[in-house]
Structure 1
Amino acid sequence: QTFAGDAALTSAMLDRILHHSHVVQIKGESYRLRQKRKAGVIAEANPE
């Protein structure tokens, strides 16, 4: 995905934001989404 349809702008923004950070990839469904699904606020996930 790009921001405002501009790949260079998106890359520059992410570079600035992530320069001194550590990116952690987490597998599985988030707790917030799970609670919203349980409460019926959003639809169930489509099993793939």
Structure 2
Amino acid sequence: MRRELEEETGYQITNLLNLGCIYDNPVKDQSRLHLFLAPDVTPTGKKLGI
């Protein structure tokens, strides 16, 4: 997950907190959303492939 975040955003994280998961719309379907918090991020300076 850390590598994917760096590739997609250009930021590195030192700490990743799992906040749990919630159901997007429990009446409609069972899709879960996993929630994370990265309180300390550092820009890598890499150019993104956009």
Greater strand proportion: 2
- Coarse TM-score class (shorter-chain normalised): under 0.3
Between structure 1 and structure 2, the one with the greater Rg is 1
TM-score by length of 2: 0.25
The higher relative CO (CA closer than 8 Å, separation ≥ 6) is in 2
Q: Higher helix fraction: Structure 1 or Structure 2?
A: 1
